[in-house]
A and B are shown apart, each in its own frame.
Chain A
Amino acid sequence: MEIIKLEGITKVYRTSEVETTALENVNLTVRKGEFLSIMGPSGCGKSTLLNLMGLLDVPDKGNILINDTRITEMKDGEMAEFRNEMLGFVFQSFHLINSLNVLDNVELPLLYRNSTAKSRREAAVKVLEKVGLSHRMRHFPTQLSGGQCQRVALARAIVGNPQIILADEPTGNLDSKMGAEIMELLFQLNKEGTTIVMVTHDEHIAESTQRIVRFFDGRRVE
């Protein structure tokens, strides 16, 4: 079953002086439960692709369908709800909120749903245990190392039980041991049924996923 479908996607970035084509006429299908890697040299549009899949950006040309629903026809409120229920993000630069502690950061997605404070707290604690950070619950992001921050970001991504996780270079800032732990968690989630689309430049890590898609200069090459 096709959970994500991209048809003829084109995205161009315009500044007052230059025009850069980030993606040109891209077609991509992601099946439910898949663990997909997207690879390519830096600047080839991988992150852009992920942003589009995550509805963080709009394509200039083409269609995006998630669960057979056309994204372009959605209103802002619908899109927000969609993002909240279906998607989980792990960003390369973590993007944790510095003025909230770890626990509050992880709870954040649940704030946008109808839930009680108690249930939110329970879910967050549970997921922090899963990533092995329950002893740092009251700390602030500025007091954590890179690896710990990434684990918090991952916890945040999964706290709402999303169907799809979009991860942008999740191991990019970590040493090999940390990186392996993160990948371990991702594989675990995938086994439990979550679809994972991961952008990476690490060949070794990509090999262990189910499918690799390669990009070069905004176009798919494999």
Chain B
Amino acid sequence: MEQLPPYKIFPLGDAALVIDFGNLIDESINKLVHAVFYQLQKDPIPGMIEAVPAYSSLTIYYNVLFIRKKISRHETAFEWISEKVKKYLSRETIEMEDSGTLIRIPVCYESDYGTDLNFIAMQNKISVEEIIHLHVSTTYRVYMLGFLPGFAYMGMVDEKIATPRKQFPAPVEAGSIGIAGRQTGIYPLNSPGGWQIIGRTPLKLFDKEKNDPTLFKTGDTVQFNSITKDEFENTKSRNA
């Protein structure tokens, strides 16, 4: 990394701080967020509890008691850890290796599952076939996880199928694929949700029995492929 883009550090309460690289969805900024995140995983700042990468920010949760024990009485834990973060970011060696893997997700786009396909088709003046074609012909980056266990925020969908969130959240079945703006995502659990639903995957995205209970990690690449209802049912029963 030659030159770090400008960033701000601000507190998220008295036990966390946010490193903010600007309010935007941008692949190179997001890669930087992940690079810093993975580096912090390998080489954590003392007192750090965990770090949470998002689109263009990285939040660090820290243990105030632990830090206050090791610093002078005239300094706050927030000041101390802010300085540590600045030093960390001024290092010359933020490795931009992308550790993500390519994950293929089978999706049944039939109308039983893609309950909002017709709405998007009408709203965006595009055929359902074209929506599906555009959705499967791009590979997406997992920018972040959040909202629900294992919910991946992916982007960017083609401008032609971008669509705003619903005004009121509706019940959504686990496995449902949604679109919100130029983001696409999959609901790992049954949940109320506001994204427009275009299909469903038979894969399990969250499995509490596994050591790594979520299928996706930030930085992964995702490719969707269209399957029939029969294939959906077969895969589903195989995974049950």
Q: Do A and B bind each other?
A: no
**Chain B contacts to A: CB under 8 angstroms:** none
**Chain A contacts to B: CB under 8 angstroms:** none
